[in-house]
Chains A and B, each alone.
Chain A
């Protein structure tokens, strides 16, 4: 599926807004953008959970920190995307370095709880920043500024997001095939053996955690641009839960797990919301069905159909 579908996927993504425009559904370009931004965050988390084998439950914190970085910088007059977006990734990277240094000394459910705890701490910290909006969050005066594009135009912004998502997916695929990715594969399958072989396992896992955090920070920067607001809710634990759900839904450790999960979860939400007032109920039911009958997520279903 992957070899044929990759260019097709990209082509579909590039053509989509024009199709939507032609059918009078320009509004949905914004919806698609939002979905792809979450896909980026979920892909970053998939790198940590699926490739690194670390079940992290506090990923939304790095997502939210990225958003706040952009919003705060803009608040102080810095709007250039080529400055603020990397800054968002950097801030998220530093935060995940700190969290990772402490959390990665634990295992299993304790690791889950500690990452969750750190995310909550960051949430409360952000809420306490009255100067930057506190509970209500910090609005952005405008979209970030990129030289060639006018990001205030939803269409341009959409393409910027598609480009970044495609680049991230390609980068993660590349990393997976490289020595680092192979070492990660060894760690998630048999960590003790990797230790015995002399690999610097802690540092490798930490690097994986930081990379995932940094990309989530970038996604946060994009989200702040998309909604025009950096909200503390972006850091709340249920947001982390949702990201994790996307990864599991899409297929943990599969190349497009994050993208598939975001597409299906948010797409389902959108579609159902148009039909019924109680979309959340049916989304829950759908998730429950997937959990019960598709243990390897959507990617697993698709792969299975190809093999069987």
Chain B
């Protein structure tokens, strides 16, 4: 599989602190690659460097073979390298459907410019249809007419994900999508993310080890600004360096009897211990 994203020797320092200290990492097309690490390891800084919010001091970021290190966030987003936000960033006084339609409308290459002054946007049938489809995909069908500000926290995160998807990203940077969610909401979001596998390449930063290990194809571990290990969940679980780095910190014993997360609509969501194993995924 080709590398969609390749980081090479990426570094960033703030004053004397090297928040990112020579990160080399690759993300293969179609995979769900998780980035984990103890608090303060520099995950957020690394995501900023990949998305373009911060400029790197050293090293390079290659996206689909092109060097994007000097490109701005919008330019990278324009090429399909899109980030979703840890702090929910939606349009509070528009309905959920309008939020998504606005995100869909941003794709100038598909819809033409936003400098249209006459035709009501609601009558842009194809655009509205796509927004409605996205609404269903992130499991908010039926909440389309609700004001975004009135949605529950978990629903807002789903909307957030929907907006990121509306831009038809090729690589999606998910920065702690499960932050602040309870058990049920987390499972729901995890199911959504699992549903992206194969269609969208995902670089996922997340603290919830449980879900990370069930979702990811590969995991990279970031400690003190450096990658100490990259591999499949099983390999990482057993890696002695990783255990040492995390000693007493975040890794919790993984319950290997739990099934991997399957792409599901919530009504068919497998609950803990009650998995449906069919095709072995």
Q: In the docked arrangement, what's the CA distance between A190 and B78, Å?
A: 19
Quick one: given A193-B91, A196-B77, A198-B78, are A179 and B106 in contact (CB under 8 Å)? no
- Of A175, A193, A195, which is within 8 A of B117 by CB? A175
> A192 at interface (Cβ–Cβ under 8 A)?
yes
Q: In the docked arrangement, what's the CA distance between A125 and B25, Å?
A: 60
In the bound complex, residues from chain A placing their C-beta under 8 Å from that of B116 are 178-180
Task: Mark the stretch among B42-50, B94-102, B239-247 that contacts chain A.
Answer: B94-102
Q: CB distance B101 to A182 under 8 Å?
A: yes
Task: Tell me the total A-B contact number using a CB cutoff of 8 A.
Answer: 87
Q: In the docked arrangement, what's the CA distance between A193 and B91, Å?
A: 8
- Of A186, A197, A200, which is within 8 A of B94 by CB? A186
> B27 at interface (Cβ–Cβ under 8 A)?
no
Q: CB distance A182 to B118 under 8 Å?
A: no
Quick one: given A185-B94, A189-B94, are A198 and B106 in contact (CB under 8 Å)? yes
In the bound complex, residues from chain B placing their C-beta under 8 Å from that of A196 are 73-74, 77, 83, 85, 89
- Of A174, A175, A177, A183, which is within 8 A of B122 by CB? A177
In the bound complex, residues from chain B placing their C-beta under 8 Å from that of A189 are 91-94
- Of A178, A192, A198, which is within 8 A of B121 by CB? A178
A contacts with B: majority SS: helix
- Min Cβ gap A172→B in Å is 10
In the bound complex, residues from chain A placing their C-beta under 8 Å from that of B119 are 178-179
> A207 at interface (Cβ–Cβ under 8 A)?
yes
Q: Report, as a range, how many residues of chain B touch the other chain.
A: 20 to 34
- Min Cβ gap B146→A in Å is 16
Quick one: given A182-B102, A198-B108, are A193 and B118 in contact (CB under 8 Å)? no
- Min Cβ gap A62→B in Å is 19
- Min Cβ gap A57→B in Å is 24
Q: CB distance B89 to A182 under 8 Å?
A: no
In the bound complex, residues from chain A placing their C-beta under 8 Å from that of B124 are 179
In the bound complex, residues from chain A placing their C-beta under 8 Å from that of B102 are 182-183, 185-186, 194, 197
Q: What are some 26 contacts across the A-B interface (CB < 8 A)?
A: A174-B120, A175-B117, A177-B120, A178-B119, A178-B120, A178-B121, A179-B113, A179-B116, A179-B124, A180-B116, A182-B105, A182-B114, A182-B121, A185-B91, A185-B94, A185-B102, A186-B91, A190-B92, A192-B89, A194-B106, A196-B85, A197-B163, A198-B78, A198-B167, A199-B106, A204-B114
Report, nearest first, the 4 A-B pairs whose CB atoms are least far apart: A197-B106, A177-B120, A179-B116, A183-B114
A-B contact sample (6 more), CB < 8 A, given A178-B120, A196-B74? A178-B117, A178-B121, A179-B121, A183-B102, A193-B90, A197-B167
